Amino acid sequence: MVLRDRRYTVADLREIEQRPENHDKTFELINGEVREVTAPEVIHNYIISLLVRKVGRYLDDHDLGLIFGDNMSYTLANGDELIPDASFVAHTQITHPLPKRFHFAPDIAVEVSSPSNSERELLEKAESYLESGSKFVWIAYPIKRVFDVCHLTEDGSLIVRKVEIDGVLNGEDMLPGFTVAVKDIFPPDK
């Protein structure tokens, strides 16, 4: 479900979420459109759980922040509200007790492509995160077995670098020294 008849706000999103027919549904708000988030497929969960475990192990030895899986909501400065498939937040942004949703962009956002996503839609989310303060975004494409690593240039243009199955993702300045082989994130190709 996508609502496009007008430009929606976070307040509209809250009202839509409270409707009885939506009690078991999850929604995001991007560029004024309310979009229902579909339940992930098994491969989607596989990729996210592996990535969260690997980053979590790194964070056990490097106390830099927290890693979250699905269902952590971020209300961004640009008015969008997104739920990345995984996210990292540095300790400098975290307040305690932990809120129901954060009102800032995660330092790192991860999205996994599903059959219901277009590549443009995922890049649109990446732009939203980056414009609101994320340092970089990883987008996994399970069918192609590649990742896009997304950054913004100084002039605000989106740069996308493909990392193939034999490549390596790294944590850049946010997770210094963290690396993971792309082939170790996707299920074996057998």
| CATH code of residue 136 | 3.90.1570.10
What percent of the chain stands above pLDDT 90?
67
Residue 189 within any structural domain of the chain: no
Indicate if 97 and 124 belong to the same structural domain. Answer: yes
Do 8 and 63 lie in one domain? The reply is no
Same domain, 102 and 135: yes
pLDDT at 38: 74
Q: Above 70 in pLDDT, residue 3?
A: no
Same domain, 72 and 49: yes
Judge whether 150 and 63 are in contact, CB under 8 Å.
no
Mean pLDDT, residues 104-131 taken together: 94
> Is there a single domain that holds both residue 50 and residue 119?
yes
Same domain, 30 and 91: no
Among 148, 143, 95, 146, CA closest to 125: 148
On whether both 120 and 172 belong to a single domain, the answer is yes
The whole domain housing 14 covers: 1-37
**What tens digit of pLDDT does each residue of 12-51 get?**
888 888 888 888 877 778 788 888 777 667 888 999 999 9
Report the domain count for the chain: 2
Residue 142 lies in a domain: yes
What residues pair up with 32 in beta bridges, in sequence order? none
Q: What is the pLDDT of residue 1?
A: 55
**pLDDT digits 0-9 by tens, 46-71:** 999 999 999 999 999 999 999 999 88
What is residue 188's predicted lDDT score, i.e. its pLDDT? 83
Residue 12 shares a structural domain with residue 45: no
- Indicate if the alpha-carbon torsion angle 188, 177, 65, 153 is positive or negative: negative
For 89, the enclosing helix (H) or strand (E) is strand 86-90
Answer yes or no: do 16 and 63 share one domain: no
